[in-house]
Amino acid sequence: MPNTQQLKDLTTQVRRDILRMVHKVNSGHPGGSLGCTEFLVALYSEIMDRKDHFDMDGIGEDIFFLSNGHISPVFYSVLARTGYFSVDELNTFRLINSRLQGHPTTHEGLEGIRIASGSLGQGMSVALGAAQAKKLNGDTHLVYSLHGDGELQEGQNWEAIMYASAKKVDNIIATIDLNEKQIDGATDDVLPMGSIKAKFEAFDWTVIDIEEGNDIDAILKGMAEAKAKTGKGKPVCVLLKTMMGNGVDFMMHTHAWHGKAPNDEQLEIALTQNPETLGDY
């Protein structure tokens, strides 16, 4: 059984990292990062069967692709705090000569990252390719991926979604961050997509709902259910209902913090709401 308190402590510390990273350079995407903090903490701490070192091929372990690359702050913080590189390096986020680019890249050789992402809609295809490589290699480990809900407006996703079920790629769990928000506002105002669940089901995917996407226990339970559905001839989709800006009261219930950093005063309030647990970088 996972130690829930440890996961909660890590979640709080990752939130602090996110806030301090974007504040320092006055840029970056805190809203979606905070919304997906519990998910990525759970994924890297409990859900994935990972090796303790990084190698690009990821043979013999579960691997993860972040398609909505703009939530790089949470990705970098979780990678650092689960041992891929030093947490001190979080200090260099978005600075010149840094490996922690605004959006994730393999270009700088940062451990834990297997594909560049940021230009949206490409990660599902990449994850499918990696999943098919696993099958060719006789590797029974899984491929996980994360995508924004607004990101599903990119057409390449639907090429990939159609392909995955047609080719029975059943060793993938693609999670959709259902925060119902994007840069210009609510997804229902920007481009209403109707039922994302019905769409995935119509494309013959198995769909698992996680209604409490910011609750660690709910995530662990939902992802265990998703994992149990793999290997049955269908790709698996998790609809993870999250709160953008979760854990910072003034960043919740709005899309305003999608791509905006807090000022000094706002940072102080936000950090007060998330007291230091594992030590700041």
Partner 1 sequence: MKTYTYTEKKDTRSGFGAGLTELGRTNPNVVALCADLIGSLKMNQFIEENPERFFQIGIAEANMMGIAAGLTIGGKIPFTGTFANFSTGRVYDQIRQSIAYSNKNVKICASHAGLTLGEDGATHQILEDIGLMKMLPGMTVINTCDYNQTKAATIAIADYDGPVYLRFGRPAVPIFTPEDQKFEIGKAVKLTEGTDVTLVATGHLVWEALEASKALYEKGISAEVINIHTIKPLDEKTILNSVAKTGCIVTAEEHNFLGGLGESVARTLALHNPTPQEFVATNDTFGESGTPAQLMEKYGLNSASIVEKAQAVIKRK
Q: Which residues bind partner 1 (CB under 8 A)?
A: 56-59, 63, 65, 105-107, 114-119, 122-134, 136-137, 139, 155-156, 159-160, 162-163, 166-167
Residue 86 vs 137, nearer CB to partner 1 = 137
Residue 133 vs 190, nearer CB to partner 1 = 133
> How near is the Cβ of 166 to partner 1 at its closest, in Å?
8
Among positive and negative, which fits the CA dihedral 107, 110, 116, 119?
Answer: negative
Structure tokens at 71: 């939530």
> How near is the Cβ of 119 to partner 1 at its closest, in Å?
5
Residue 131 vs 251, nearer CB to partner 1 = 131
Cα 31 to Cα 259: distance, rounded to the nearest angstrom: 7
C-alpha 10 chain-centroid distance: 16
Residue 48 vs 133, nearer CB to partner 1 = 133
> How near is the Cβ of 150 to partner 1 at its closest, in Å?
17
> How near is the Cβ of 129 to partner 1 at its closest, in Å?
2
Closest CA to 82 of 56, 122, 46: 46
> How near is the Cβ of 126 to partner 1 at its closest, in Å?
4
Beta bridge partners of 88: none
Residue 162 vs 198, nearer CB to partner 1 = 162
> How near is the Cβ of 12 to partner 1 at its closest, in Å?
32
> How near is the Cβ of 63 to partner 1 at its closest, in Å?
7
Closest CA to 69 of 11, 146, 176: 146
Residue 162 vs 224, nearer CB to partner 1 = 162
Residue 31 vs 121, nearer CB to partner 1 = 121
